[in-house]
Structure 1
Amino acid sequence: MKRVAAVAALVSATGLAVAHGDDSHRDRPPVPAVKEQQPWGIAGDAKTVTRTIEVRMLDTMRFSPERIDIREGETVRFIHRNDGKVLHEFVLGTKQALDKHAELMMKFPDMEHDEPHMIHVRPGKAGDMVWTFNRAGEFDFACLIPGHYQAGMVGKVKVLPK
């Protein structure tokens, strides 16, 4: 019981949500009415998608592509395909946010998330995420499953100004 309380307090203090996932998140409930602005953008509306990008997750601990260029203001549907035999995830963020979350994942490997900028995809499955990149800059994405991030399963999103 003390461990559960400690994990809840730690997660609450870091602003991370707990929940990880189903096979694909395609049946994820709609994004809450109040969308939370992040430094790397905000949850998008499927009706305003301007482009679809497929991201493959590989057991070589790599994403394909590893670099994505986007224009500020674009709403992108990411289709994540796990071509491997192990669970992978795709988490958007800043390097600092990903480092912090990866550290937590090492301590609590069964921690789950249910945020619009995070998705778990089981082997051989696919899932999608809709995100609006409303701020220019360079951002990161990664698989934060323990060992994957440390092995280099990371990528970059460059959001070009309007």
Structure 2
Amino acid sequence: MSARILLPLLCALSLPALAGQGHFSFGQPAKAAEVDRTVEIVLGDMYYEPGSVQVKAGETVRFVLKNEGALLHEFSLGDAAMHAEHQKHMLMMQQMGMLTPTGMQHDMSKMDHSQHDMSGMQHGKMAHDDPNTVMLEPGQSAELIWTFSQSTGLEFACNIPGHYQAGMVGNVEVKP
């Protein structure tokens, strides 16, 4: 597949599959005014603390995330299949020079595009802004607010190449 086709496809596929009603099958992004509970999660190098979270269907949770590791990490909600697909895109982003061990390169002019046609990118910039995902550089903190629906097999994971495989994955149990 040519780079002219592959890069726009990568950008389109980096957004998780949305359900018919305009939200994810396991829930949807929410606003601060809707928060029922706050859960703090530390991102370390190849672990999350805590490693699992229980939520109720319909509950809106504010995840307060802090990267205390020395590496770039991600907190992404999804099932194993969604994470596996996202990992492919993250690997391509790494190969393009978008991801470094400690950060994310947003300026496309500084990336290796010898193998990729970047003419389709707007303003020479590319973002990683899926509503179910937050990327944090070392020392950064962030929030993700989510309303959960019924779901099985839901995980939070870091999909930076090799991190999920090294054990940087946790379980979200959605109870009725």
TM-score class, shorter: 0.7 to 0.9
Deviation, 1:137, is 2.9
Check whether the contact 2:25–2:149 (CA below 8 A) recurs between aligned residues.
no
Answer yes or no: is 1:46 the counterpart of 2:61: no
Answer yes or no: is 1:126 the counterpart of 2:141: yes
Residue aligning to 1:108: 93
Residue aligning to 2:54: 69
Deviation, 1:85, is 1.3
Q: Unaligned regions of 5+ residues in structure 1, if any? A: 18-34
Answer yes or no: is 1:85 the counterpart of 2:85: no
TM (normalized to structure 1)?
0.79
Tell me the distance in 2 between the aligned counterparts of 1:6 and 1:149: 24
Residue aligning to 1:6: 6
Residue aligning to 1:21: none
Deviation, 1:108, is 2.6
Where 1:137 maps in the other structure, the secondary structure is coil
Tell me the distance in 1 between the aligned counterparts of 2:63 and 2:151: 18
Measured at CA, do residues 123 and 71 of structure 1 come closer, stay the same or move farther in structure 2, by a change above 3 Å? same
Residue aligning to 1:97: 82
Check whether the contact 1:137–1:160 (CA below 8 A) recurs between aligned residues.
no
Measured at CA, do residues 136 and 3 of structure 1 come closer, stay the same or move farther in structure 2, by a change above 3 Å? closer
Tell me the distance in 1 between the aligned counterparts of 2:137 and 2:4: 26
Measured at CA, do residues 78 and 58 of structure 1 come closer, stay the same or move farther in structure 2, by a change above 3 Å? same
Q: What is the letter of the counterpart of residue 117 of structure 1?
A: N
Deviation, 1:133, is 0.3
Tell me the distance in 2 between the aligned counterparts of 1:79 and 1:103: 27
Asked which structure has the greater CA Rg, the reply is 2
Residue aligning to 1:29: none
RMSD: 1.8
Tell me the distance in 2 between the aligned counterparts of 1:92 and 1:133: 10
Q: What is the letter of the counterpart of residue 37 of structure 2?
A: R
TM (normalized to structure 2)?
0.73
Q: Unaligned regions of 5+ residues in structure 2, if any? A: 16-20, 100-126
Tell me the distance in 2 between the aligned counterparts of 1:9 and 1:127: 28
Check whether the contact 1:138–1:159 (CA below 8 A) recurs between aligned residues.
no
How many residues matched?
A: 140
Tell me the distance in 1 between the aligned counterparts of 2:153 and 2:165: 20
